[in-house]
């Protein structure tokens, strides 16, 4: 049995008090553990919110670094020298043209397609996990990944000088594999889906003593996602939105945006108000959407079959908690087809100039579906979370976008090509009209 925590033994810089079981409330020391020994529930980081309330203000946050580390007191690390590669504080842009297309008035895009250093929101969770891994004395870090997590772990481990070995399903997109290999970690491509990769990694974590960011370090890792809540609140002028739409893989990101908002309310940084939480999944891997639709309080695992590989988790660890949050906030969880996901990627690109990957396409397609079903009020301040970059999943849209017009280096060749393309545009319009 693990001993109770002794906060007085740790550095005064730490505002977290230990780990706590989400199910039975049992408390543990903040080590590299993630499952409750008593009930097998997931462990979560607990904080001293009275200390935080005294310690943190809007001004102190704004005076902090231009990265997620401006929220360091809310993150589970003791050091004041975290691994800071400029992760976070990505743009929150008002999406006027997309809003008009959808029939909304106040739509914002939180754009983690340009998060640093590897262009997905995973850089947030990995920056936190590896900072904690270093504090806990790990020299080798690892992960079970659907692609983006491997990119982040390999890149940030390289920056921090940690040894790195990552595990991915062998059928990932070329851009995701290349975006890991460039940092020279050891890459294990496993013949199997993500859930099989994850099971293998649990065994390796037990036998090799490595820090797996999303297994034995998961309680610390997942706290990094709270920064997606903090930043939106700060960037909206220290206010919460009315409605958020975010993609669901394990469901962790979704539940941590919720925790982030709650914490800001609790320490008095924003005013309390109801925020509706809506989640997005791909139909080919939608165990959380199915549980929500059927009003179940348990997840039935599925075998993933979708182009949205970065969110294709068939047995989502935080699925049940995501369903609870959607229910109690009067939100929703929806799924969309691969064809709708491609349309979503194109719609965001054409209206806002943001090229997202399949997870972002899923979010935009679900946003559209929710508006059409009357589940988002046009007057609601709505934030859609775009979590990854389109350059990493190019094969998903291959054959669904136009082609360049190849011409000779001569003016008349250009003029003829331009005329041809205008004619094609007119033809397309006529087809739309009939
Ligand atoms: C991992 C991932 C998510 C969702 O992650 P959770 O497991 O639900 O926290 C969303 N979008 C992208 C691009 C991802 O890589
Ligand atoms: Zn427990």
Tell me: do 382 and 416 sit in the same domain: no
Is residue 171 assigned to a domain? no
CA of 219 to the centre of ligand 2 (A): 14
CA of 202 to the centre of ligand 2 (A): 19
Tell me: do 291 and 417 sit in the same domain: no
Is residue 288 assigned to a domain? yes
Is residue 264 assigned to a domain? yes
Is residue 352 assigned to a domain? yes
Tell me: do 270 and 355 sit in the same domain: yes
User: Residue 424: what pLDDT?
Assistant: 85
Tell me: do 281 and 419 sit in the same domain: no
User: Residue 425: what pLDDT?
Assistant: 84
- How many Cβ atoms sit within 10 Å of the Cβ of residue 207? 7
CA of 43 to the centre of ligand 2 (A): 8
Q: Whose CA is closest to atom 12 on ligand 1?
A: 387
CA of 19 to the centre of ligand 2 (A): 11
**Ligand 1 atom, smallest distance to 310 CA:** 15
User: Residue 430: what pLDDT?
Assistant: 74
User: Residue 375: what pLDDT?
Assistant: 97
Q: Which residues line ligand 1 (CB under 6 A)?
A: 120, 122, 148, 247-253, 310-311, 357, 359, 387-388
User: Residue 427: what pLDDT?
Assistant: 81
Q: Whose CA is closest to atom 14 on ligand 1?
A: 310
Number of the ligand closest to the Cα of 41: 2
User: Residue 379: what pLDDT?
Assistant: 97
CATH of the domain at 368: 3.40.50.1100
Is residue 222 assigned to a domain? no
Is residue 200 assigned to a domain? no
Number of domains in the chain: 2
Tell me: do 409 and 392 sit in the same domain: no
**Ligand 1 atom, smallest distance to 147 CA:** 15
Tell me: do 309 and 417 sit in the same domain: no
CA of 407 to the centre of ligand 1 (A): 42
CA of 46 to the centre of ligand 1 (A): 23
User: Residue 432: what pLDDT?
Assistant: 66
Tell me: do 390 and 423 sit in the same domain: no
Is residue 77 assigned to a domain? no
Tell me: do 375 and 316 sit in the same domain: yes
Q: Residue 412 sits in which domain range?
A: 405-433
Tell me: do 243 and 390 sit in the same domain: yes
Prediction pTM value:
0.94
Tell me: do 328 and 413 sit in the same domain: no
The residue whose CB lies within 8 Å of the most ligand 1 atoms, and thus the one to mutate among 168, 220, 247, 248, is 247
User: Residue 433: what pLDDT?
Assistant: 65
Q: Whose CA is closest to atom 7 on ligand 1?
A: 250
Q: Whose CA is closest to atom 4 on ligand 1?
A: 249
User: Residue 428: what pLDDT?
Assistant: 77
Is residue 138 assigned to a domain? no
**Ligand 1 atom, smallest distance to 112 CA:** 13
Tell me: do 279 and 426 sit in the same domain: no
Tell me: do 264 and 355 sit in the same domain: yes
pLDDT tens digits, the chain, 434 residues: what are they?
343 444 433 444 678 999 999 999 999 999 999 999 999 999 999 999 999 999 999 999 999 999 999 999 999 999 999 999 999 999 999 999 999 999 999 999 999 999 999 999 999 999 999 999 999 999 999 999 989 999 999 999 999 999 999 999 999 999 999 999 999 999 999 999 998 999 999 999 989 999 999 999 999 999 999 999 999 999 999 999 999 999 999 999 999 999 999 999 999 999 999 999 999 999 999 999 999 999 999 999 999 999 999 999 999 999 999 999 999 999 999 999 999 999 999 999 999 999 999 999 999 999 999 999 999 999 999 999 999 999 999 999 999 998 999 999 999 999 999 999 999 888 877 776 65
């Amino acid at each position: 049995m693990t001993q109770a925590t002794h906060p007085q033994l740790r550095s005064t810089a730490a505002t977290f008090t230990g780990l706590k079981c989400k199910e039975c409330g049992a408390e543990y020391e903040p080590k590299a553990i993630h499952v409750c020994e008593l009930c097998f529930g997931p462990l979560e980081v607990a904080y001293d919110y009275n200390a935080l309330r005294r310690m943190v203000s809007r001004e102190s946050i704004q005076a902090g670094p231009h990265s997620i580390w401006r929220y360091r007191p809310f993150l589970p690390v003791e050091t004041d020298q975290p691994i800071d590669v400029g992760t976070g504080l990505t743009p929150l842009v008002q999406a006027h043209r997309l809003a008009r297309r959808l029939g909304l008035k106040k739509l914002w895009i939180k754009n983690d397609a340009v998060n640093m250093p590897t262009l997905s929101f995973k850089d947030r969770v990995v920056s936190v996990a590896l900072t904690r891994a270093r504090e806990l004395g790990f020299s080798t870090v690892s992960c079970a990944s659907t692609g983006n997590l491997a990119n982040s772990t390999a890149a940030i481990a390289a920056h921090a000088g940690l040894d790195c070995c990552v595990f991915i399903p062998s059928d990932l997109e070329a851009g995701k594999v290349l975006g890991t290999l460039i940092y020279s970690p050891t890459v294990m491509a496993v013949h199997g889906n993500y859930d099989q990769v994850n099971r293998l990694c649990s065994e390796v974590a037990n036998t090799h003593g490595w820090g797996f960011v999303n297994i034995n370090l998961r309680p610390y890792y997942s706290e990094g996602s709270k920064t997606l809540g903090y930043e939106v609140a700060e960037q909206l002028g220290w206010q919460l939105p009315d409605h958020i739409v975010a993609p669901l893989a394990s469901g962790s990101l979704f539940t941590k945006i919720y925790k982030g908002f709650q914490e800001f309310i609790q320490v008095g940084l924003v005013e309390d108000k109801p925020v509706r939480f809506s989640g997005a999944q791909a139909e080919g891997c939608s165990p959380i959407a199915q549980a929500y639709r059927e009003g179940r309080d348990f997840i039935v695992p599925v075998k993933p079959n979708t182009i949205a590989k970065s969110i294709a988790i068939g047995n989502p660890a935080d699925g049940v908690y995501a369903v609870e949050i959607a229910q109690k906030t009067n939100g929703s969880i929806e799924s969309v087809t691969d064809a709708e996901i491609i349309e979503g990627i194109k719609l965001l690109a054409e209206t806002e100039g943001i090229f997202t990957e399949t997870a972002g396409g899923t979010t935009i397609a679900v946003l559209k579906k929710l508006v059409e079903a009357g589940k988002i009020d046009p007057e609601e301040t709505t934030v859609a979370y775009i979590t990854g970059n389109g350059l990493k999943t190019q094969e998903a849209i291959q054959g669904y976008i136009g082609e360049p017009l190849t011409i000779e280096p001569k003016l008349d060749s250009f003029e003829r090509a331009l005329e041809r393309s205008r004619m094609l545009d007119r033809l397309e319009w006529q087809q739309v009209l009939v």
